[in-house]
Structure 1
Amino acid sequence: MEQSFLWYDLETFGTNPFHDRIAQFAAVRTNMKFEIIGEPVVLYCIPSEDYLPDPQACLVTGITPRECRSKGLPEYQFAREIFNIMMVPGTTVTGYNSIAFDDEFIRNLFYRNLFDPYLREYSNGNSRWDIINLVRATHDLRPEGIIWPETDEGKPQFRLERLSAANGIGHDQAHDALSDVYATIEMAKLIHDKQPRLFNWSWKHRKKDELRKLFNLNSRPALVHSSPLLTRKEGATTLICPLGVPGEGARQGRDTMLCADLRYDPSRILDLSVEEIRKRVFLPSAMEDETHRRYPVYSIKINRAPFVAPLNSLKPERADALNIDIQKCLDNRDTLLRNQDITAKIRQVFNDPPSGSLPDDPDYQIYGGFFADGDREQFPFIHRSMEELLSMDDKSRETGIREFISGVQRMNLTQKERVSKLVSRMLGRNFGSQLRGKAAQSWKEFCQNRLIFPLLNEARDIHSFRREIEKLQSRPGLQVRDKIVLKELLEYFDELKRITLEVS
């Protein structure tokens, strides 16, 4: 099976992957030598009438709902195109900070449209990767041959546009998805050319099964870990000791590994209770003082391609540059190993239920449990029906929609309410203007509720949306492009009021 990278990037209408929508998708496929295969893909998604974008996000990207309407696809067709691209056998879907951000939007997009949100991550020799932690590790462990910019505070700068500019990589249109993709490819190629062994290590250890071998809970080795949580003036890397997975009842699953930062002496928490340790682990840095110091324990998701490597990858001169005392770290590890009860206590610290939860609504239930096998076996009927509706003319589609709704109502589903609501919203988001009768009324009422009473506190409602636009319009020094974007957003606001809310 021929392996390939699918380098991709998104521009979105907000930052919450459960609620906000994708505006633009761009992808370029290369072979393992970074040679481009085929044509680049750029897709836009038409926003539906149950959603309001974040005006600030539109200012950042310059993309408005009007542009997406003129260039874009309905959400189901948009999701299908991306799903098919990512499902090419042997594909590693890769980006820059994609696992923490873009992948969550993709998962929610697939889920809302009843595509398996995880299949492209493991099926047919496929996988996912993200080079941002490799970039951090390269800066800290093997920086030679690459120019490393800094922030105004003197910390290493890992923003793609700054790294690109410092290293002569063309990136003229930051926050344009395709431009970001090309910059990501060139950054990956630069690291591969300058530090091939480090690149190959990260690539070969992108999967959780390989990472589990490193986190050997029998020997609990000292490991090198690079992460944004560790970013400081010297770098973003430390030495860690694996402690195990969270205990029974924890909100994290078996793909989570708890690790202690070995730069910190664990002896000061040995005699503390579980509750006292919990306070130290989650103590905000602003509340630290001489007697109350935070004890860093990291929850590492091994299914998110973290950068982890053996101790021997940290050379003494790089340890000095990172202000890491290797011997002190090993002594702290020995303290942990001699006191196994502290490991058990720390695992209990992470057993609390989540502090908050998403709304009890099908749109937000991607992590609320898998669909039953029997239900998933009937999804092909839904997909065939959606494909047929997309291919019909307007007159035939009205009849097709009625037959599709009747077919879904006859389906014997374990989670009938959840699936039926997702299907009805798919119909509204893709064919809202062609719904008739009860289906049309239900869709309109749903849109009204979403726009007036959004389920997430941080989501925009119809009133805060306009206030935010007007606030941005009053900002001094607005560029011409920004004025155009805000004007288009106000026009979009007026259109949604007229079509969806029917108020003047």
Structure 2
Amino acid sequence: MSEFSYFWHDYETFGADPKRDKPAQFAGIRTDADFNIIGEPVTLYCQPPADMLGHPEATLITGITPQYALKHGVPEPQFIATILAEMAVPGTCSVGYNSLAFDDEITRHALWRNFHDPYEREYKNGCSRWDIINMVRLAYALRPDGIEWPTRDDGTPSFKLEHLAQANGLMQETAHDALSDVHATIDLARLIRDKQPKLFEWVTGHRDKQSARALLDMNSRKPALHVSAKFGAANGCLSPVMPIAAHPVNKNCIITYDLRHDPAPLLELEADEIFDRIFTPSEDLPEDAPRVALKGVHVNKCPVLAPFEMMRDNEATRLNLDINQCRRHWKAIHDRMGEVEAKAIAVFEARVFDAETDAEAALYDGFVSNDDRARARDVHTTHADRLAEGDIVFSDNRLNELLFRWRARHHPDSLAEAEKDDWNNWVAKRLEFAPDGGLTLDEYDEVVATLMERVKGQPKQLQLLLELKAWGDRQRAFL
């Protein structure tokens, strides 16, 4: 059996969309189960592709310009291969802070763009993944003693890593520097383990799918406490939920109901009306049409769940939770369980996601066949000239498009003249119209100009923006 270790990690990026925006910096530290550091930290920058714009706001947060990453970084294939080698060490649990929602998506999409399996490092050879942010939220909600909890101006708790690190005197030399953030994450996990060891043991011992399914028992329908940012910081990001139905499409999702809310709309409305109440944008809903509090819990994303009985009366009061009312809501649903389950299945069955139009963002548009997975592995051992001759052709057109872009970015000399024209035309279209989302070049320039006005009198920030302006000017060569 492989020896267990944590690989704590963090990315800084050139934007907030993990499907489309590129990584700027990565840092990782391996520890044993007791948080003792093993080996040397991994820290590296990623060279941006020549066609990348990025978002200026991201650079103001991280301080990393495209020019800096280009000078000090490595090409993305080398960057992500180095990261994968660490995460795929047998027995590794890759872990971060808000990493399931963001950093893991950066990893998956970088692996996808560079012809690695996006998922194997999450389960193969005893490997797994985790994210401590919801453990932190659970500690605030149920067992807050021994930890300083920073608040925002409105009095609600802040779960930002930098705020928690500062309030608790944890090591974080520079917020939004990847290595500094990793140290702060390790220290925060250690703090919770030391101050609330039973809670820490509970969360780490119940982060697998089987534990989540057991707590969301579809036979008893017993309520469970669930942690999610969607419940709001004012409520400690925690609510009791009732398992309603297995998701009709996603086998890793269980549909639940938030028992804070009156279930009358769930009980009285038809499925199509419930659908509208859930998926219509808030600004398009009438004021007298409250949301229906159905929520999917993804058992493969280490959901933080706990028995309903863990809620103490004093904590319930602090979290604006009326336990008796929740029990009444549970009974009202349970009395009409068959009808409610059928409605929930119909609602989520009716939801259809549009296919991504851009290959780089289309990871979740379908699994890759075994034959194409084998071809993808061959990309790394096939000379660029042979790739240019068509030695590797995929049955999945997403991968053919990715291979063309991979060659254009990392082996431009392998492109024929017609391919060079196709590449330049594609980049020009992207910069001019942004068909895959993000900023057009004109919008980028406008954002830079606006930010320059905002940071007058801040020479460091202004210098970053001058470099970003120069980067935008460089991109105009494609037009």
TM-score range, shorter chain: over 0.9
What residue in structure 2 maps to residue 394 of structure 1? none
Shift of 1:244: 1.4
1:430 corresponds to 2:430: no
Q: In structure 2, how many angstroms separate the alpha carbons of the residues matched to 1:404 and 1:283?
A: 46
Q: In structure 1, how many angstroms separate the alpha carbons of the residues matched to 2:435 and 2:76?
A: 21
What residue in structure 1 maps to residue 229 of structure 2? 228
Residue 471 of structure 1 aligns to a residue whose secondary structure is helix
What is the identity, as a one-letter code, of the residue corresponding to 1:489?
A: L
Q: In structure 2, how many angstroms separate the alpha carbons of the residues matched to 1:244 and 1:142?
A: 30
What residue in structure 1 maps to residue 474 of structure 2? 495
Residue 225 of structure 1 aligns to a residue whose secondary structure is strand
1:276 corresponds to 2:255: no
Residues 461 and 287 (structure 1), Cα distance of their counterparts in 2 relative to 1, 3 Å cut: closer
Q: Deviations over 1:460-503 (max 9, x none)?
A: 222222222122212253411111111111222222223x33xx
What is the identity, as a one-letter code, of the residue corresponding to 2:400?
A: S
Q: In structure 1, how many angstroms separate the alpha carbons of the residues matched to 2:318 and 2:455?
A: 43
1:449 corresponds to 2:442: no
Identity of aligned residues (%): 38
Residue 270 of structure 1 aligns to a residue whose secondary structure is helix
Q: In structure 2, how many angstroms separate the alpha carbons of the residues matched to 1:219 and 1:228?
A: 26
Residues 286 and 365 (structure 1), Cα distance of their counterparts in 2 relative to 1, 3 Å cut: closer
Residues 88 and 21 (structure 1), Cα distance of their counterparts in 2 relative to 1, 3 Å cut: same
What residue in structure 2 maps to residue 397 of structure 1? none
Residues 265 and 471 (structure 1), Cα distance of their counterparts in 2 relative to 1, 3 Å cut: closer
5 Å-filtered alignment, 1:341-490, equals 341-354=339-352, 356-359=354-357, 361-385=358-382, 400-406=383-389, 409-411=390-392, 413-415=394-396, 417-432=397-412, 435=415, 437-457=417-437, 459-490=438-469
5 Å-filtered alignment, 1:108-257, equals 108-247=109-248, 250=249, 253-257=250-254
Whether the 8 Å CA contact 2:13–2:22 is kept in 1: the answer is yes
Question: Quick one: which of 332, 336, 351 aligns to 1:335?
Answer: 332
Residue 133 of structure 1 aligns to a residue whose secondary structure is helix
Residues 3 and 273 (structure 1), Cα distance of their counterparts in 2 relative to 1, 3 Å cut: same
Which stretch shows the higher mean deviation, 427-436 or 8-17? 427-436
Which stretch shows the higher mean deviation, 428-437 or 237-246? 428-437
RMSD: 2.1
Q: Deviations over 1:398-449 (max 9, x none)?
A: xx5323322xx2446422x433321121122223367553443333333223
What residue in structure 2 maps to residue 390 of structure 1? none
Which stretch shows the higher mean deviation, 223-232 or 340-349? 340-349
What is the identity, as a one-letter code, of the residue corresponding to 1:445?
A: N
Q: Deviations over 1:257-288 (max 9, x none)?
A: 11111122324542322223334445766788
Residues 269 and 119 (structure 1), Cα distance of their counterparts in 2 relative to 1, 3 Å cut: closer
Whether the 8 Å CA contact 1:62–1:481 is kept in 2: the answer is no
What residue in structure 1 maps to residue 106 of structure 2? 105
Whether the 8 Å CA contact 2:5–2:91 is kept in 1: the answer is yes
Residues 192 and 441 (structure 1), Cα distance of their counterparts in 2 relative to 1, 3 Å cut: same
Moved over 6 A (4+): 283-290
What is the identity, as a one-letter code, of the residue corresponding to 2:454?
A: R
Residue 496 of structure 1 aligns to a residue whose secondary structure is helix
Q: In structure 2, how many angstroms separate the alpha carbons of the residues matched to 1:355 and 1:115?
A: 25
Q: In structure 2, how many angstroms separate the alpha carbons of the residues matched to 1:450 and 1:284?
A: 28
Residues 478 and 356 (structure 1), Cα distance of their counterparts in 2 relative to 1, 3 Å cut: farther
Q: In structure 2, how many angstroms separate the alpha carbons of the residues matched to 1:125 and 1:43?
A: 26
Residues 235 and 435 (structure 1), Cα distance of their counterparts in 2 relative to 1, 3 Å cut: same
What residue in structure 2 maps to residue 300 of structure 1? 297
1:323 corresponds to 2:320: yes
Residues 426 and 162 (structure 1), Cα distance of their counterparts in 2 relative to 1, 3 Å cut: same
Shift of 1:289: 8.5
The count of corresponding residues between Structure 1 and Structure 2 is: 477
What is the identity, as a one-letter code, of the residue corresponding to 2:422?
A: S
Q: State the TM-score, normalized to the length of structure 2.
A: 0.94
Residues 364 and 267 (structure 1), Cα distance of their counterparts in 2 relative to 1, 3 Å cut: closer
Residue 329 of structure 1 aligns to a residue whose secondary structure is helix
What is the identity, as a one-letter code, of the residue corresponding to 2:424?
A: K
Q: In structure 2, how many angstroms separate the alpha carbons of the residues matched to 1:255 and 1:441?
A: 44
What residue in structure 2 maps to residue 40 of structure 1? 41
Residue 84 of structure 1 aligns to a residue whose secondary structure is helix
Which stretch shows the higher mean deviation, 148-157 or 486-495? 486-495
Q: In structure 1, how many angstroms separate the alpha carbons of the residues matched to 2:5 and 2:99?
A: 17
Q: Deviations over 1:210-266 (max 9, x none)?
A: 21122110111110111111124342211110111233xx5xx11111111112232
Q: Deviations over 1:347-391 (max 9, x none)?
A: 2222223365421x3222201111111121222321112xxxxxx
What residue in structure 2 maps to residue 391 of structure 1? none
Whether the 8 Å CA contact 2:150–2:167 is kept in 1: the answer is yes
Shift of 1:291: 5.3
Residue 30 of structure 2 aligns to a residue whose secondary structure is strand
Q: In structure 2, how many angstroms separate the alpha carbons of the residues matched to 1:133 and 1:294?
A: 24
Q: In structure 1, how many angstroms separate the alpha carbons of the residues matched to 2:14 and 2:239?
A: 35
Q: Deviations over 1:161-195 (max 9, x none)?
A: 11111111122311111111100000000001111
Whether the 8 Å CA contact 2:240–2:259 is kept in 1: the answer is yes
What residue in structure 2 maps to residue 396 of structure 1? none
Segments of 5+ residues of structure 2 without an aligned counterpart are none
Q: In structure 2, how many angstroms separate the alpha carbons of the residues matched to 1:290 and 1:67?
A: 49
Whether the 8 Å CA contact 1:319–1:326 is kept in 2: the answer is yes
Whether the 8 Å CA contact 1:336–1:343 is kept in 2: the answer is no
Shift of 1:300: 1.6
What is the identity, as a one-letter code, of the residue corresponding to 1:259?
A: T
Q: In structure 1, how many angstroms separate the alpha carbons of the residues matched to 2:10 and 2:119?
A: 18
Shift of 1:40: 0.7
Q: In structure 1, how many angstroms separate the alpha carbons of the residues matched to 2:61 and 2:393?
A: 46
Q: In structure 2, how many angstroms separate the alpha carbons of the residues matched to 1:51 and 1:303?
A: 32
What is the identity, as a one-letter code, of the residue corresponding to 1:112?
A: R
Residue 64 of structure 2 aligns to a residue whose secondary structure is coil
Shift of 1:35: 0.6
Shift of 1:290: 8.8
Residues 102 and 474 (structure 1), Cα distance of their counterparts in 2 relative to 1, 3 Å cut: same
Q: In structure 2, how many angstroms separate the alpha carbons of the residues matched to 1:460 and 1:272?
A: 40
